Structure 1
Amino acid sequence: MVTHQISTTDPLFSVIIAVFNDWEPLERCLESLAEQECAPGFEVIIADDGSMEPAPEFIRQWQGHYPPLAIDRRSHAGISTARNRGAQISRGSILLFVDADSRLQTNCLAALDSSITNSPRHNCFQLHLIGDCTRLVGRAEELRLNTLQNQMLQPDGCIRYLNTAGFAIRRSRVNLERGVFDPVALRAEDTLLLADLMQSGELPLFVPNAIVQHATPLSLVASLGKSMRSGYLEGRTYEIIASKGIRTRVSHRERLSMLSYMWKKSGQHSIGRSAWFVVVARKALQRIISLIYHVLVLVRRTVLSRSRENANSKPSASTKSPESDST
């Protein structure tokens, strides 16, 4: 069911936010959108992926601040499906995907608008992501994001990185009926989209002045637990990416370079060495769980293959063994 207020003009941006029980961080995201300065026209679409409770009053009251705000509530089908549904009911010529725990700086939409206007040949745009350095998990996120965006940036200003905490794409670039994101991907759906873009010879343009703070509310233990769950759920997505013959993961040499860069960056007082260890621990857990996933898949395929071989080697039930002739 969609609830919204009617607008007679089509906005430039459709800000699509997929949520699943993320109402408290979403309120701060909406606050940051309300504080945008010199921003072009935009609408906000909240794609509720079957949260346990519908949007509470403190979220619905924001419809008075955003004339074109819609809340689309559907049964739980995954974040990719929720985002696709949000894109399908949107009206903007630019689809901007952010997370519920994203907070846009006051000039973010204006900076993005300027970059899009000055880059007519580009269809995809990766916004500049930062962390919340008031907490250890936030400092680790700042270190991780800073490293990825620094190391993946290409000489032409494009970036071999895509994160839907702040990502925009022209409406004309996507097939809305098929969906922007592959519904099969339960995690790493943004990396799968990056692989599709790379397959077509395209990378997102990095927009350094359009800044989004990814203010994850998780505790350290919850953050480590999320990394473990992600490592398992991403397994299927990376199988799909591998089948495309596209390399999205960093090489061993790039990984060593990133670890070195992170270590130097963590020497800053605003980050701290502890953030480096958190990032490394999260990534190690993710890789271990991912390896376990692939081992389980290999074992399962081996068992199924042997079962088929055994079934094929058995004689048909209708075939009788020949009897010897009596003399």
Structure 2
Amino acid sequence: MSPEQEPLVAIRGAVLAYRGHCVLRGVDCRIEAGETLALLGPNGAGKSSLMRLVAGRLPPGSGTVRIAGADPFREREARRAIGWVPQEIALYPRLTVAENLSVFAQLSGIGRSERKAAVATALELADLGEVARRPVGHLSGGYQRRANIAASLMARPRLVLLDEPTQGVDLHARAAIHAVLARLRAQGAAILIATHDFAEAERLADRVAILADGRLVHEGRLAILLERIRAEVPEHEVALASPADPAAEAALRRAGFVPVDTGLTWRASHRAGLDGTALLGTLRTEGVPVAEIRIRTPGLEAIYREALDRAEPDRPVQLRRTGNET
């Protein structure tokens, strides 16, 4: 592959271990310029470790990580092309938003004469003008997260890494953060976003990569993956009027359902062409307190479950449907 054809981010055979425990096992992944990749996986799958490799915070034990052909761990210029947005708010709470951005501009090597314009650009991009003069510690969580993103953009990075950028914020703040990311993408930045929120990934991503136990178990263009799964039989979802007792739970599992959320909702773990009316009657006969049967168009969550089931068929899959849940 010629340099012109190389992706902006190229990860090949990346292996990483902590204290004898392997957390990444031969990961191959790429991100093109202007593309958004959503990184999915259960807790402990290796998402944050992979992002640290891409950010140049850690070197792989074996394999390679390249940003525009350069090693981000060893080459400062490669790291300058990266904007890192950690899950924690990495700002000075007593400084205003504008003062924080000025500090991060200085840390990014932006000269005094250019700093004011760089801060103004970041404030506009993140739509923070109305709170620019307010201390970060006095802002809502949503504004703090947007300021956190803005701080990572001072050097105009070609690649932005975000670890759970909307965790713990309300719907309005989430929409505002998504708008910031859309503007970044429109300007040609590549985005790598680690998230547990399937709706967020569906809204933002061009491609998805699913990690399990340090391995990349599924990867592809989101539109193609969704088209393929939606051509199959729709999903069935059972809503319960009350929690299932052990006998009802056993009946649901025999029918191919697994619990989600609080346990009052059970979803088919496979799409077997079940008839909704017949299913309702069968489950009620077996003592399941069914309130209703829902027919759902399968989405990214179904792709995720199937990928994890193939990777670890005996492991119960724990899902989180929104970024607000813990």
TM-score band w.r.t. shorter chain: under 0.3
Greater share of residues in strand: 2
Greater share of residues in helix: 1
Structure index of larger Rg: 1
